[in-house]
Chains A and B, each alone.
With several copies, the nearest count.
Chain A
Amino acid sequence: MPEPRVITFREALREAMVEEMERDPSIFLMGEEVGHYNGAYKVSEGMLDRFGERRVIDTPIAETGFAGVGIGAAMVGLRPIIEFMTWNFSLVAYDQLVNNAAKLRYMSNGQFTLPIVFRGPEGAAHALGAQHSQALESIYAHIPGLKVVVPSIPADAKGLLKAAIRDNNPVIFMESETMYSLKGEVPAGEHLIPLGVADLKRPGRDVTLVTWGKITHTALKAAEALAADGIEAEVLDLRTIRPLDEAAILESIRRTHRCLVVQEGWPFAGIAAEIITLVAHQAFDSLDAPPDRVTCLDVPMPYARNLESLVVPTPERVVGAVRRLLGRDDAPPQPVIAVRGR
């Protein structure tokens, strides 16, 4: 029974990579600044010293190039961990992930497995502007052949990353700059969390907040505020977006009869829409109110902090949505932000 210690999210990720690389020489880490610079966000700090340039590899600024290199290496049996400095930059390599990584196994009739992890931070940090503040799980989870993991706490980050590295499929693993310094209890040594299993971060009976990743903490803050008001919100952290833990979602909704999805990304055809579709189709009769979602506003991210704070989901917006869901007459009206062309 490994005894837990308190470390940061960043250290938990590093520990997962280091432990796996110690275990299996076919695993390597590749990306921009992962080696000599010790990682743009210091996730890989010390790993170059430990494993050397052969296994901790600084790349040119060529995401299509090194994503493709990872795919080719995985085709012949290596197990690459490819770091995107941030997922915003993965868009220049999108074709490699969608047309190559996601399809190889199927179109080769299972002759190849592709044990590769693409990881890095995503979503808004602080005032990084429109091109650097995107939560992109939807455009990856949409693609059959990819798995998508978005942890919310250090222990999950370690357990899920180790599982992702051992998984024989391309795994999209999304972190957050703003969580890297988050501390939490993390089991030392062997600690694996299977992909596709949600985790109940807070039990409740009145409403289910379905969420994942960084925004889980927003949902938890909201649940606390609601509790002070006698409303017991359950917070279900999906941890993995694809495969989706449909059973856990449905089980919870059938208990609480109310569903609010809280996500960071844009609303239109986002993950929340998929979850609401699941719930509306599979748990229709157990719903006491229309399912709803709290998301980023449907706009590119503005730089000015006062605008940015209006765009990203806040505990206040979650609380308001829950109160509307519960039909509290003192609930704030649904905020209407008209976006032309939408």
Chain B
Amino acid sequence: MDAALLLGLYRQMCLCRRFEEAAAKAYSQGKVQGFLHLYIGQEAVAVGAISAIEETDYIVSTYREHAHYLARTGDARGAMAELFGKATGCSGGRGGSMHLFDARHRFLGGWAIVGGHVPIAAGVAFASKYREEPDVTLCFFGDGTANQGAFHEGLAIAAVWKLPLVLICENNQYAMGTPLYRTLSVEDVSVRARGYPMEAEIVNGDDVLEMREAVRHAVDRARKEKLPFFLEAKTYRFRGHSVADPAKYRTKEEVQKWMERDPIGLLAQRIQHLGIANEGQLQALDEEAKAQVQDAVEFAEESPAPAPETVAEYVYA
């Protein structure tokens, strides 16, 4: 086991967790506004998946994308400033929490219409194939997305055109207040893949290493054979759908049960079990993450709002 790798993953997951805790705090202070969808509890999915791909591979995500953005760019300042609606944000304060973009790092959003980004991800994969480039596209979406027409059309096209697209369904059991079973006729979202058909695999989304391995396999296949792959990551969001949601639709027991497999806790145990680091050293990494987030908050606080005279810029090129 590569110690540096494990510690790096741990550090990243801490960054995601601390970032969102700080974002939630800033929201309660009115410094972050609009919708804020926290990823807390799902960190192993984004961090594990993105650790398995090349920097040149593309990422397309949803409105619950802070962790995907951080795992790809490490840029806590740009993300926090965006949440604060500042000119220094990764989308200049124009996008907000749901619309993080970083063209340079091939992080292609940040989309907030459920399923609408799946065909776009297929298009990015199409472009790689068109240009005979080796890049693979990762597309993240939720369990509730599997009933949306755009999801279907994206998969149908990826299947028939054999696009290098890895579809990662983050099955966190709920679409807003709706448990999966109420809107999906099957228990596993990956059953949907059978209709195209498309290779599919179910993975424990709370185990960052399992996630990493599964994505590595899927991406290799997509890269070499130019074939799409459907990964269903079983996970859970510890918080509400957005910070405005008290999540009363879940029992304490259920939440408790999942919190016991907190992906960060699981990784910490493994690291200590392997003797790679002790609690103190892990805490130090967490402190580092906290410091980086604190720095990001200060950066966001001190950054200027977008200049009013720019309000009509970037409507057209």
Contacts and interface: CB of A to CB of B under 8 A. Distances in A.
Given A303-B34, A303-B93, A310-B308, A70 B123 contact: yes
B274 interface: no
A129 B95 contact: yes
B266 interface: no
Nearest to A65: B153
A303 B96 CA distance: 5
A129 B120 contact: no
Contacts of A307: 93-94, 305-306, 308, 310-311
A314 interface: no
A68 to B, nearest CB: 2
- Counting contact residues on chain A (CB < 8 A from B), the size range is 35 or more
A311 to B, nearest CB: 7
A66 B161 CA distance: 11
A109 B154 CA distance: 26
Contact of B157 (A60, A71, A104): A60
Interface in A278-336: 297-300, 302-307, 310-311
Contacts of A60: 144, 147, 153, 156-157, 160, 183-184
Contacts of B4: none
A126 B176 contact: no
Interface string B129-153: 0110000000000001101111001
A243 B65 CA distance: 35
A69 B312 CA distance: 27
B98 interface: yes
A32 B177 CA distance: 9
Between A61, A66, A88, the greatest number of chain B beta carbons within 10 A of the residue's beta carbon is seen for: A61
A73 B133 CA distance: 13
A69 B101 contact: no
A107 B66 CA distance: 16
A168 B89 CA distance: 24
Contacts of A145: 315-316
Contacts of B89: 109
B95 A64 contact: no
Nearest to B122: A69
Question: Interface range on chain B: under 10, 10 to 19, 20 to 34, or 35 or more?
Answer: 35 or more
Given A61-B144, A62-B156, A305-B85, A129 B316 contact: no
Nearest to B100: A108
Contact of A73 (B33, B123, B311, B314): B123
Interface string A96-120: 1001100011111111111100000
Contacts of B128: 76
Residue picked from B89, B183, B317, most chain A C-beta under 10 Å:
B317
Contact of B130 (A28, A59, A113): A28
A303 B95 contact: yes
B108 to A, nearest CB: 6
Contacts of A78: 127, 130-131
B121 A65 contact: no
A341 B313 CA distance: 11
B91 interface: yes
B52 interface: no
Interface stretch (A33-41, A202-210, A233-241, A255-263): A33-41
24 contacts: A37-B177, A60-B157, A61-B145, A62-B147, A64-B119, A68-B122, A69-B122, A71-B123, A72-B60, A72-B120, A76-B108, A76-B124, A96-B116, A104-B109, A107-B94, A108-B95, A109-B91, A110-B317, A115-B317, A127-B33, A127-B85, A302-B311, A303-B82, A307-B311
Given A92-B113, A130-B94, A304-B85, 15 more contacts: A37-B249, A59-B157, A60-B147, A61-B144, A64-B149, A72-B124, A76-B124, A99-B113, A108-B91, A108-B101, A129-B98, A145-B316, A298-B312, A303-B82, A341-B316
Interface of B: 33-35, 58, 60, 82, 85-86, 89, 91-99, 101-103, 108-128, 130-131, 144-145, 147-150, 153-154, 156-157, 160, 175-178, 182-184, 249, 305-306, 308, 310-317
